[in-house]
């Protein structure tokens, strides 16, 4: 008799079941006071799938889940794979986007529901059937391995958050691609990412399909007790965490992703982890490249590039590969990247071209093969053929006493010359006019007259995204609104 996994080798639910049957009592999820084995988690997945099936959830369904429970988050996700249903995180972005229409809303008891939609609560009664052991063969699996399974929203680094669809084939490919991170039965990881976030699911599926253990909670003492040897987080999350949760002795490895890793943070992290890995990736492409970050006893930071299975290139405006040290635009491709955004055809056409994903990052290859992201594509400002990195101008402006933050941008006024303008946040200790003149002079001396701001206007706060990147387009819009108001 052919097993469900043999019939559907790309089905993540059945694939986990096969690992669980081999893993048995090996710990899958570890929390303070509770250890769930692979066999127990597989049983939970099948019971959840049975309850969902009883409620009419099947291959035409879209399940939205709101929970803070790691077992339920993973259980419901894998249950949708068994049923061939689709999955999305329930939350504010889903409600605001309006591009997806879930057929079923589920939540765990500890989270609030919504006045706008009816959530069904996953209560103990879902699981309280003594002796129940659902046969995996009762679940249909996917109708098509290339049909949408998981809907994920992007971080917003390419604009407002947008949804992408990942098929089980794509997710299976992504999971197999990270296999080197999870030697079978040898990894126990903890994370600061939320249990319904894309970064969590990507790591959790990688671990569960390679007999890894996942630790729930953020207590370093419990991490040591549970044998954590790998931690996942964003640089900002980890820096805040370590301020109040020092780790000693050092944990073997940390992977940070989601934003650029500064030298300051690299030095901090190396005090708490033996190996620091800076990951480059996106929702659209998954993990694409990595830099190993080393810190000498004197505090010197060096980065060494580590190629993965994705093709990552830095190219010129003409699409030609850049030499080391030459700044250009990043493009990425791999077999499991998504091909566009849901209900955003213009953004899809702009960012997905000729088989490549163009994330909008400006970067450079270093001498050790490391990938250094310099900024976003709107950080590279073209002034009539002469280009300047906006971040460089921003930095020069803040070297002037009395200017605590600044952002430059191209003049957006209709018919305006190719010139640079800037907003600056003054700290109140200097006369604004004098500081403005000094800032413009600094830029002229360092960059030349053409690339220096022609005008600097005061602002109370520089608009930035969640990762701290300046929003130059927002600044242009603010200036246009001021211009039109006085026109």
pLDDT at 156: 66
pLDDT at 378: 80
CATH class belonging to 4-233: alpha beta
> 159 near 153, Cβ under 8 Å?
no
Sequence length of the chain is 487
How many Å apart are CA 68 and CA 73, to the nearest integer? 7
End-to-end CA distance of the chain: 78
> 427 near 405, Cβ under 8 Å?
no
Within 10 angstroms of residue 196's Cβ, the number of other Cβ atoms is: 23
Q: For residue range 391-428, what is the model confidence (pLDDT) as tens digits?
A: 999 999 999 999 999 999 999 988 888 899 999 999 99
Mean pLDDT for 430-448 is: 96
pLDDT at 197 over 70: yes
How many Å apart are CA 305 and CA 359, to the nearest integer? 19
How many Å apart are CA 487 and CA 483, to the nearest integer? 6
User: Cα Rg for the chain, rounded, in angstroms?
Assistant: 25
pLDDT at 260: 87
When pLDDT is cut at 50, 70 and 90, the band that residue 158 belongs to is low
Residue linked to tokens 């992290």: 269
Q: What is the pTM of this model?
A: 0.86
Mean pLDDT for 168-188 is: 97
Residue linked to tokens 């044998």: 227
Q: Residue 34 is encoded by which pair of tokens?
A: 């509770």
When pLDDT is cut at 50, 70 and 90, the band that residue 386 belongs to is confident
Choose between 414 and 381: higher pLDDT. 381
pLDDT at 41: 98
> 122 near 60, Cβ under 8 Å?
no
Q: For residue range 306-355, what is the model confidence (pLDDT) as tens digits?
A: 999 999 999 998 999 999 999 899 999 999 999 999 999 999 999 999 99
Q: pLDDT > 70: what percent of the chain?
A: 98
Strands 120-121 and 104-107: parallel
pLDDT at 262 over 70: yes
Q: For residue range 92-151, what is the model confidence (pLDDT) as tens digits?
A: 999 999 999 999 999 999 998 888 899 999 999 998 788 899 999 999 999 999 999 999
Mean pLDDT for 189-203 is: 96
CATH class belonging to 384-485: alpha beta
Residue linked to tokens 């570890």: 30
Domain ranges (residues) in the chain:
4-233, 273-378, 384-485
Least confident piece of the model among 101-110, 127-136, 229-238, 275-284: 127-136
Mean pLDDT for 17-43 is: 97
Mean pLDDT for 75-92 is: 98
pLDDT at 487 over 90: no
Mean pLDDT for 224-228 is: 98
Q: 3-state SS string over the chain?
A: CCCHHHHCCCCHHHHHHHHHHHHCCCEEEEECCEEEEHHHHHHHHHHHHHHHHHCCCCCCCEEEEECCCHHHHHHHHHHHHHHCCEEEECCHHHHHHCCCCCCEEEECCCCCCCCCCCCEECCHHHCCCCCCCCCHHHCCCCCCCCCEEEEEECCCCCCCCCEEEEEHHHHHHHHHHCHHHCCCCCCEEEECCCCCCHHHHHHHHHHHCCCCEEECCCCHHHHHHHCCCEEEECHHHHHHHHHHCCCCCCEEEEEECCCCCCHHHHHHHHCCEEEEEEEEEECCCEEEEEEEEEECCCCCEEEEEEECCCEEEEECCCCCECCCCCCEEEEEECCCCCCCCCCCHHHHHHHEECCEECCCEEEEECCCCCEEEEEEHHHEEEECCEEEEHHHHHHHHHCCCCEEEEEEEECCCCCCCCCEEEEEEECCCCCHHHHHHHHHHHHHHHHCCCCCEEEEEECCCCCECCCCCECHHHHHHHHHHHHHHCC
pLDDT at 301: 97
Q: Do 384-485 and 4-233 have the same topology in CATH?
A: no
Q: For residue range 356-375, what is the model confidence (pLDDT) as tens digits?
A: 999 999 999 999 999 999 88
pLDDT at 326: 92
Q: For residue range 250-261, what is the model confidence (pLDDT) as tens digits?
A: 999 999 999 889
pLDDT at 475 over 70: yes
How many Å apart are CA 398 and CA 408, to the nearest integer? 11
Phi, psi of 16 (to 5 degrees): -65, -40
Nearest to 104 by CA among 156, 54, 153: 54
pLDDT at 486: 63
Strands 148-153 and 86-89: parallel
27: β partners: 37
pLDDT at 114: 84
> 42 near 17, Cβ under 8 Å?
yes
251: β partners: 273
Nearest to 130 by CA among 20, 55, 47: 47
pLDDT at 157: 59
How much is the mean pLDDT over the chain? 94
Sheet holding 301-307: strands in order across? Answer: 34-37, 27-31, 213-215, 188-191, 230-233, 251-256, 273-282, 286-295, 301-307
Q: Residue 349 is encoded by which pair of tokens?
A: 């056409």
Q: Which CATH architecture has domain 273-378?
A: Roll (2.30)
């Amino acid at each position: 008799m052919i097993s469900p996994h043999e019939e559907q080798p790309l089905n993540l639910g059945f694939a986990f079941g096969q690992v669980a049957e081999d893993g048995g009592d090996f710990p899958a999820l570890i929390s303070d006071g509770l250890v769930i084995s692979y066999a127990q988690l597989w049983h939970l997945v099948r019971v959840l799938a049975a309850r969902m099936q009883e409620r009419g959830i099947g291959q035409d369904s879209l399940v939205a889940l709101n929970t803070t429970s790691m077992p339920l988050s993973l259980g419901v996700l894998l249950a949708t794979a068994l049923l061939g249903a689709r999955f999305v995180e329930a939350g504010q972005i889903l409600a605001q986007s309006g591009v997806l229409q879930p057929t079923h809303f589920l939540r765990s008891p500890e989270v609030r529901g919504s006045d706008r939609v009816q959530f069904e609560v996953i209560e103990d009664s879902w699981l309280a059937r003594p002796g129940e052991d659902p046969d995996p063969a009762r679940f249909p699996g996917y109708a098509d391995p290339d049909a949408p399974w998981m809907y994920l929203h992007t971080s917003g680094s390419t604009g407002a958050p947008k949804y992408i669809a990942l098929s089980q084939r794509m997710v299976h490919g992504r999971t197999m691609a990270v296999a080197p991170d999870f030697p079978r039965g040898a990894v126990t990881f903890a994370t600061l990412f939320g249990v319904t976030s894309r970064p969590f699911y990507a790591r959790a599926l990688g671990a569960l399909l390679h007999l890894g253990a996942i630790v729930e909670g953020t207590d370093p003492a419990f991490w040591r007790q549970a044998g954590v040897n790998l931690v996942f987080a964003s640089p900002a999350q980890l820096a805040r965490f370590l301020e109040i949760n020092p780790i000693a002795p050092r944990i073997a490895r940390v992977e940070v992703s989601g934003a650029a890793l500064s030298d300051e943070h690299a030095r901090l992290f190396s005090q708490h982890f033996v190996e620091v890995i800076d990951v480059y990736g996106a929702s659209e492409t998954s993990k694409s490249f990595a830099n190993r970050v080393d810190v000498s006893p004197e505090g010197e930071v060096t980065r060494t590039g580590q190629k993965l299975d994705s093709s990552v290139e830095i190219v010129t405006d003409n699409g030609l590969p850049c030499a080391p040290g030459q700044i250009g635009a990043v493009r990425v491709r791999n077999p499991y990247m998504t091909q566009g955004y849901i209900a955003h055809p213009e953004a899809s056409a702009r960012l997905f071209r000729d088989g490549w994903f163009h994330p909008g990052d400006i970067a450079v290859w270093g001498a050790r093969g490391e990938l250094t992201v310099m900024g976003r594509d709107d950080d590279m400002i073209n002034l009539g053929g002469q280009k300047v990195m906006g971040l460089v101008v921003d930095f020069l402006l803040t070297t002037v006493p009395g200017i605590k933050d600044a952002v430059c941008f191209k003049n957006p006024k209709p018919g305006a010359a190719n010139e640079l303008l800037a907003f600056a946040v003054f700290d109140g200790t200097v006369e604004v006019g004098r500081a403005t003149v000094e800032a413009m002079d600094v830029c002229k001396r360092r960059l030349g007259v053409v690339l220096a701001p022609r005008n600097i206007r005061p602002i109370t706060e520089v608009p930035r995204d969640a990762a701290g990147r300046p929003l130059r387009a927002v600044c242009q819009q603010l200036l246009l609104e001021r211009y039109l108001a006085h026109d």
